[in-house]
Amino acid sequence: MNDWQVICKVEDIPVLGARRVARARGGDVAVFRNDQNQVFALLDRCPHKGGPLSQGIVFGTSVACPLHNWTIGLEDGCAKAPDEGCTTKFACRVESGDVLLDPVELATLAIDVAPAQSA
């Protein structure tokens, strides 16, 4: 079992927004918080044309991409129909108010993709 890495506190993430986690290799990870204080982590890259999902607006368990307004599910990273495609999802936990990510996933998932486009 991996040692989970503390990223920040839940309250460090704006409600209905996100915080970006930079990685040495690969694109940034966006950690989202919704109005129920649920926290989700996705690659900060829209499956459409690479928009920065961390700059989108969270609603329910989805985020609206800031570039062309696709709706991306925070639980699976996938676009809602009729749009198609998924971005990489990262495991995420909250413990005692701390947000934790899996360091193995941070080091290995989606390390071959380009960074998000600017909005």
Instruction: Determine if 65 is a binding residue for ligand FES (CB under 6 A).
Output: yes
Q: Is the CB of 26 or the CB of 50 nearer to ligand FES? A: 50
Min dist. Cβ of residue 27 to ligand FES (A): 13
78 secondary structure, DSSP code: B
Of 39, 37, 26, 47, the closest CA to residue 112 belongs to 26
Pick 98 or 115: Cβ nearer ligand FES = 115
Task: Tell me how many residues contact ligand FES (CB under 6 A).
Answer: 9
Please give the order of strands across the beta sheet that includes 71-73. Answer: 57-59, 62-64, 71-73
3-state secondary structure 51-68: CCHHHCEEECCEEECCCC
With contacts defined by CB under 6 A, name the span among 13-21, 66-74, 86-94, 105-113 that binds ligand FES: 66-74
What is the smallest separation between the CB atom of 79 and ligand FES, expressed in angstroms? 8
Cα angle, residue 27 at apex, residues 21 and 32 outer, rounded to 5°: 40
**Would you tell me which residues interact with ligand FES (CB under 6 A)?**
46, 48-51, 65, 67-68, 70
